[in-house]
Amino acid sequence: MNLDSRPFVRRLAAADVPAAAALRHAAFFADGKRSLGEDVAGLFDLLGGDGYEAAFVADVGGRPVGTCLFVREEIGSLHDLRPWLAGLVVARPFWGLGLGRSLVESVEFHAAEVGCRTLHLYTDQAEPFYRALGWRVAERMSVDGEALVLMDKVVGQPTP
């Protein structure tokens, strides 16, 4: 692998939005609950925000192949909790390279940097992955007959 194609994680840039939204749409919104255009607009809104919320991409050869968000509110949240790690996705050909872990760690680091103590997420399939990264199960539930897990992790220490 040459240096130009070595995978790394960085902040989302405006030029990344179409590719990142396409990854997110295929993984989370192909059921039509959110259009590709809505997700593109949401990512641009996040980029134009106050800097608290953040998006990260896994980059291979200048191309986003994964993404993960740090957001105040989760879409359709079942809990009144804040903030959230949301939308972790890595394109299947790039699984096994540690990009998912790196994306999660980038979100966790950012969360701690902006003063968050505890981060939350929902997962329906990736509980073992998140457990291996130190996340704990806070609640198990069923939504529309599907199992869903609320997880959390302490990422920062309170300021004295």
In angstroms, the Cα distances linking 2 to 12, 61, 63, 92, 140 are: 23, 9, 15, 21, 44
Higher-confidence residue of 107 and 5: namely 107
Please state which CATH number belongs to domain 3-116: 3.40.630.30
In angstroms, the Cα distances linking 71 to 1, 65, 95 are: 34, 20, 24
Rounded Cα distance, 76 and 29, in Å: 13
- Where exactly are the structural domains of the chain? 3-116
SS3 122: strand
Per residue in 1-18, pLDDT tens? 444 578 899 999 999 999
Residue 79 has pLDDT above 90, yes or no: no
pLDDT range class, residue 65, cuts 50, 70, 90? very high
pLDDT range class, residue 51, cuts 50, 70, 90? very high
Q: Identify the pLDDT of residue 159.
A: 53
